[in-house]
Amino acid sequence: MGDVQTTGRAEWESVSILPVDGIGNVAPGDPLEQMISDAIAESVGELRWGDVVVVTHKIVSKAEGRLVDLGTVEPSAFAQDYAATWAKDPRQVEMVLREAKRIIRMHRGIIIAETEHGFVCANAGVDASNAGPDMVCLLPRNPDESATRILGALQGRFFPDAEGEDRPIGVIITDSFGRPWRNGIVNVAIGIAGISPLADYRGQLDPDGYELRASILAVGDELAAAAELVMHKVAKRPVAVIRGYERQPGSPSGTGQDLVMPEERNLFP
């Protein structure tokens, strides 16, 4: 039950991405952990040891009240000028500037900014789609805390007997980011609990004894990207469960912050 049946030996090492349906509209103050937990029970039946639950940040932001009514926003003169030049909503530009810690690029109306969390993305994560008329949605204030809260609720329900050091499941909160030099956006991990977002193969040797090059894999981002394959952008399917992913043995839990390039190694200031 739940395992992939194949005709060959791939069966016990395959990974499944299971869509979770049944989460309706989410509003500020909604009991999101309960809603996710119920939807998983309904769609997937249960969680198993090693499952990774991937959640689109949008429903987290909404439940946490990270919505802004543009009617309450007074744009600065700078935001008004910029918006007028590039046919943007000045109140939305104002919110992008408020959410930005640092502007990376402002070019033809596109703003790439670093957020307080250290994420570099379009519009500092401010998003008008799926937010409601004249509303914008901001990133969760602390996506790692949000992930930890969801993890606690899911663990309490599906693994009530797990002890302190046990990490039966992981939780990843995602957003979709653009990338320099590459077309299109991809889902990445912005909040994480219960699992390491990095798999470190440094020091391991290839069959010829050569140390593996640049071999820290951002598995948190790869899991986020994989989940998107069942979410689709317009499917209103904000949650997926990844089953069968084999974590690097001994890897400690980490956070979404582990995926932010440390300043001293950043080649793109």
Q: Which position has the token pair 């986020």? A: 224
Q: Considering only residues 184-223, where is the footprint of its own copies by CB under 8 A? A: 184-188, 197-199, 201, 204, 206-223
Pick the binder of its own copies from 181, 249, 250, 252 (CB under 8 A): 181
Residue 86 binding its own copies, by CB under 8 A: no
Residue 10 binding its own copies, by CB under 8 A: yes
Residue 85 binding its own copies, by CB under 8 A: no
Span of 26-34, 64-72, 150-158, 182-190 interacting with its own copies by CB under 8 A: 182-190
Q: What's the min distance (Å) between Cβ of 19 and its own copies?
A: 5
Span of 81-89, 143-151, 157-165, 260-268 interacting with its own copies by CB under 8 A: 260-268
Q: Phi/psi of residue 68, each to 5°?
A: -125, 125
Q: Give CA–CA dist 41/39, Å, rounded.
A: 5
* C-alpha of 112 from chain center: 18
Q: What's the min distance (Å) between Cβ of 109 and its own copies?
A: 12
Pairing of strands 199-200, 216-217: antiparallel
77-86 vs 90-99: helix crossing angle, rounded to 10: 120
Nearer to its own copies, 68 or 223 (CB): 223
Contact in structure between 50 and 168 (CB atoms under 8 Å): yes
Partners of 174 in beta bridges: 56, 189
User: Roughly how many angstroms between the first and final C-alpha of the chain, as a whole number?
Assistant: 49
- For CA atoms 248, 252, 254, 259, give the dihedral sign: negative
* C-alpha of 178 from chain center: 13
Q: Phi/psi of residue 256, each to 5°?
A: -65, -25
Q: Considering only residues 130-159, where is the footprint of its own copies by CB under 8 A? A: 130-133
Nearer to its own copies, 3 or 69 (CB): 3
Nearer to its own copies, 141 or 232 (CB): 232
Q: Considering only residues 17-36, where is the footprint of its own copies by CB under 8 A? A: 17-21
Q: What's the min distance (Å) between Cβ of 218 and its own copies?
A: 3
Count of residues of this chain found to bind its own copies when the rule CB under 8 A is applied:
97
Q: What's the min distance (Å) between Cβ of 263 and its own copies?
A: 10
